[in-house]
Structure 1
């Protein structure tokens, strides 16, 4: 009998597309039940190209605040398409500055559905938490649950990223952001989702790395990460997906330079 890795190697993406919303590759075949993390790991190894879609707000869009440096979806593209040798994989970024879960819900077909992605990354909550948006944590949870269900109906895998920490003293209208991040953690735990917890890492491992100056070093304003902040978010996502390699430039390793003059 084949083990799971051998089994995935024989079916390719065509077979993986049969994944049901229950997490079973084929209904009634318990031995082929795989976690989202295992399925994504298999995608990195298969020969068929994969469509990876990112959506969310200005952070994921990479708008304005990177000063021309790559945003985390672009760093992900460099890691996968160049360093991991998957040049035919497609990276699609439909994030829009200022957006909330309600915006993505109302525009789901345009932003997500039409592309038929295999994996969909969501980073949302920073704008939902703004008082003026009028989206309570319970509504945020309902919206995220709906988005996750819609992704499953596409036979795609949802991946959640929590937002980075903000400077609350300078963005008091978003003082409750932690409550929205808690919702993401609850959804990830209850549905066994792949979850890159940027929020927690910001005030733990990144706090240690930057000796308590992570906001000074990684934010461009009270809300938005700068280019270095995006590098850290990308690194956390790579570790979450088990594709982190400290020797690779996208993960913080040295860049190759061939200066011949």
Structure 2
């Protein structure tokens, strides 16, 4: 158990209204690649304010497509502080890790330093930080993001060092393909719309991972039932398409 998790559970038990801010890149932004379905923040909005009955809570999504950790730090007042959040969830790293589209390339140590600074600023603003590792990438079609595993590991290490709640989405996406058939090894085909953007089922898995890590797994929830069904169906995709 992390240092922050008991604090968060105490806040939830108090019944006080909370403001939840989710920020990051296009995965959290959640447009286009769900093909009109809800993204994971939308699902969590329904879980928190619907199934959990926390109707006075506020759920805000400030993620922007193409962004990186350093960009979020440069716009932290708007992305985070402005909303006076009680909980700040960050998923980042998919763009930071590219070796093709950035000059200079972002080193893992610099990325880790940025993540640590996000944690510090969130806490200075009175919020509880939550870190998510980025999902896996289809490296056959996005070889420039071959360092994604190193960046996910950096997020894990910052979370462990700083006592931050961690949602290991990278591990969940890695485990998803196990046993799904030849050619699917280490490739979460059923969860991706392209090389690195989750599809509707991928967003369902992201929402379930976040809910489990933050203690919403015990909620009697039609949302959770629906999300689990979406993931189960996606686990045996027909790939490549006929």
Q: Please indicate, yes or no, whether the TM-score normalized by the shorter chain is above 0.5.
A: yes
Deviation at 1:83, TM superposition (A): 0.2
Q: Residues 232, 210 of structure 1: CA spacing in aligned structure 2 closer, same or farther, 3 A cutoff?
A: farther
What residue is the counterpart of 1:93 in the other structure? 61
Q: Residues 66, 209 of structure 1: CA spacing in aligned structure 2 closer, same or farther, 3 A cutoff?
A: farther
What residue is the counterpart of 1:160 in the other structure? 131
Q: Structure 2 residue aligned with 1:230, among 176, 179, 203?
A: 203
Aligned: 1:250 with 2:223: yes
Deviation at 1:128, TM superposition (A): 0.2
CA distance in 2, matches of 1:196, 1:61: 17
Structure 1 or 2, whichever has the larger Rg, is 1
CA displacement, residues 134-180 of structure 1 (integer Å, 9 cap, x when unaligned): 21111101111111111110011110011111101110111111111
CA distance in 2, matches of 1:47, 1:70: 27
What residue is the counterpart of 2:235 in the other structure? none
User: Which 5+ residue runs of structure 1 have no aligned equivalent?
Assistant: 1-33, 255-261
What residue is the counterpart of 2:234 in the other structure? none
CA distance in 1, matches of 2:218, 2:178: 20
CA distance in 2, matches of 1:186, 1:199: 14
CA distance in 1, matches of 2:219, 2:34: 22
What residue is the counterpart of 1:141 in the other structure? 112
User: Which 5+ residue runs of structure 2 have no aligned equivalent?
Assistant: 228-242
RMSD: 2.0
Deviation at 1:111, TM superposition (A): 0.8
What residue is the counterpart of 1:14 in the other structure? none
CA displacement, residues 3-34 of structure 1 (integer Å, 9 cap, x when unaligned): xxxxxxxxxxxxxxxxxxxxxxxxxxxxxxx9
What residue is the counterpart of 1:66 in the other structure? 34
Q: Tell me the SS of whatever aligns to 1:147.
A: helix
Q: How does 1:62-211 map to 2 (within 5 A)?
A: 62-131=30-99, 132-133=101-102, 134-204=105-175, 206-208=176-178, 210=180
What residue is the counterpart of 1:51 in the other structure? 19
